Amino acid sequence: MSLPRHPPVLLAAPLLALALLLTGCSSGAAPQKAPAGVPGQGAAGPQSDAASALRSSADPVPPAPSPAEIPDLGPETLAQIPAEARQAFVVTGEEADSYRSSAVLYSRADPARGWEPVAGPWPAHNGMEGWTDHHVAGDRRSPTGVYTLTDAGGRLPDPGALLPYDEHPRFAVDGEGFFGEPLEGSFDYVVAINYNRTAGVSPLNRTRPLGLERGGGIWVHVDHDGPTQGCVSVPEERMEELLRTLDPALNPVIVMGDAESLRR
């Protein structure tokens, strides 16, 4: 008599269950950590990015540098310089009653950078009695203030001036200065200072809008090694350099006075 056979499926099922228990369900992949630095997952996810952005926004941003101003000029003087001026010839007297000065040419080619020195300092002379804020004819003082420069001229041929240049023999001068120095050649080159004059004409023009009593004929001219009647003078080679540099397209001005008055 033979024993009955069990169906194969009844034996296979327990063996399959035992195999699954032993392998720990190795047929299914375990969850993996996201690699560090992958945005949106793990420690380097969105929280980290937001914190970094917050720190960046909290860092102070250095302010843009202010445009440079001309040194040793006070607010009142700076306010007189026209906004369109891109060149400034600054003549600074040693004292209110001194005839000795120094001169520096500044340029404002890039308004964002401000004023920068481009020539000087040069030795200069001004009026014998110094400076005044109310010039009158014969006071032998130079007028303080800010004045435009539009016209040039001289006895000698044009050295390459950018301003309109009037070559004329009437610029000849002779005689002696206050200390006996010869004046010959002083007007070989001149730049008219637009104090009590009409802009756009020869420096020889004698029109005086403020009246004759307020003086006139105030120029930058060739130095004769002594004080002037009211003009500003610099060495001849510096006059040539000035004539070749002052550019009407840059609306040049002269800023002139004793050091104390210019600091106001």
Q: Is the dihedral of CA 45, 51, 54, 58 positive or negative?
A: negative
Per-residue pLDDT, 57: 53
pLDDT band at 13, cuts 50/70/90? very low
Nearest of 198, 192, 200, 199 to residue 210 by alpha carbon: 198
Residue where the block lists tokens 């800023």: 255
Instruction: State mean pLDDT over 92-107.
Output: 98
Long-range contacts of 41-47 (CB under 8 A, 24+ apart): none
Instruction: State mean pLDDT over 75-86.
Output: 97
Global pTM reads 0.76
Tokens of 206: 């004698």
| Between residues 45 and 180, the one the model is more confident about | 180
Per-residue pLDDT, 158: 98
* Total domain count, the chain: 1
Per-residue pLDDT, 56: 53
pLDDT band at 111, cuts 50/70/90? confident
Does 52 map to a domain?
no
Per-residue pLDDT, 66: 81
Instruction: State mean pLDDT over 34-38.
Output: 44
Question: Is pLDDT above 50 for 194?
Answer: yes
Residue where the block lists tokens 């445009």: 67
Average pLDDT over the chain, rounded to whole? 85
Q: What does the alpha-carbon distance between residue 252 and residue 88 come to, in Å, rounded to a whole number?
A: 6
Write the DSSP string, the chain. -PPPPPPHHHHHHHHHHHHHHHHTSTTSPPP-PPPTT-TTSSTTSHHHHHHHHHHHHHSPPPPPPPPBPPTT--HHHHHHS-TT--EEEEEEESSTT--EEEEEEEE-SSTTTB-EEEEEEEEEE-BTT-EESS--TTS--EEPEEEE---EEESSPP-S-SS-EEE-GGG---SB-TTS-B-TTTTSSEEE--SSS-TTS-TT----TT-GGG----EEEE--SS-BSS-EEE-HHHHHHHHHH--GGG--EEEEEEHHHHT-
Q: Which of 5-9, 106-110, 179-183 has the weakest average pLDDT?
A: 5-9
Question: Is pLDDT above 90 for 118?
Answer: yes
Cβ neighbours of 250 (radius 10 Å): 17
Does 50 map to a domain?
no
Does 13 map to a domain?
no
Does 23 map to a domain?
no
Question: Is pLDDT above 90 for 155?
Answer: yes
Residue 204: give the domain boundaries. Answer: 75-262
Does 32 map to a domain?
no
Tokens of 127: 């009026």
- Give 216-248 pLDDT, tens digit per residue: 999 999 999 999 999 999 999 999 999 999 999
Annotated catalytic residues are: 221, 231
Does 60 map to a domain?
no
Tokens of 197: 């004059």
What residue type is 136 in one-letter code? V
Residue 124: give its domain's CATH number.
2.40.440.10
Per-residue pLDDT, 52: 54
Tokens of 85: 């001026």
Does 65 map to a domain?
no
* Residue 95 CB contacts under 8 Å (≥ 6 apart), including other chains: 130, 258, 259, 260
Does 218 map to a domain?
yes
Instruction: State mean pLDDT over 165-188.
Output: 97
Q: Which of 5-14, 145-154, 242-251 has the weakest average pLDDT?
A: 5-14
pLDDT band at 16, cuts 50/70/90? very low
Cβ neighbours of 84 (radius 10 Å): 9
Q: Which of 42-46, 67-71, 146-150 has the weakest average pLDDT?
A: 42-46
